[in-house]
Amino acid sequence: MKDLTIALDDRPGALAEMGDALGRAGISVEGGAAFVVDGRGIAHFLFADGAAAREALENAGISVLAEHDVLTQRLRQEVPGQLGRISRRMADAGINIELLYSDHSNQLILVVDRPEQGRSVSQAWAREQA
């Protein structure tokens, strides 16, 4: 899975144009979010095939600013404090969480500044939760 950072105009229809471009290319969005910050639209969306999504967007004139590997984690929703504990584990390992959202399967999606180390922390966390 890949997270793409996508620049969108802050106007009605910009998100629809993005969705239409992906739909025409047969690409599904697996999760994500979109925001307006200081008059600029920024979206982070999750794709099974980041390269194909990037191509479809760029062919439609939509700017892809970055592509990131992601960590995927299933939190036990019935246990309060899960987000704090996994975030603390990352922080204690010196890993900065740069982006966090949920996918369509209710999994936590993380983009971190040190992906390999983050993957190790995430895998250890998952083993402990099993």
Domain chopping of the chain, boundaries: 2-69, 71-129
Q: What pLDDT, on the 0 to 100 scale, is given for residue 77?
A: 78
Q: What is the CATH number of domain 2-69?
A: 3.30.2130.10
The span from the CA of 55 to the CA of 15, in Å, is 17
Q: What pLDDT, on the 0 to 100 scale, is given for residue 19?
A: 96
Q: Is 79 in contact with 86 (CB distance < 8 Å)? A: no
- Encode pLDDT of 58-115 as tens digits: 999 999 999 999 999 988 878 888 899 999 999 999 999 999 999 988 899 999 999 9
Q: What pLDDT, on the 0 to 100 scale, is given for residue 129?
A: 81
Q: What pLDDT, on the 0 to 100 scale, is given for residue 47?
A: 97
Q: What is the share, in percent, of the chain residues with pLDDT greater than 90? A: 84
CA-wise closest residue to 75 among 64, 62, 65, 84: 84
In sequence order, what DSSP letters do the residues of 49-90 get, joined into one string?
Answer: -HHHHHHHHHHTTPPEEEEEE-EEE---TTSTTHHHHHHHHH
Q: What pLDDT, on the 0 to 100 scale, is given for residue 78?
A: 81
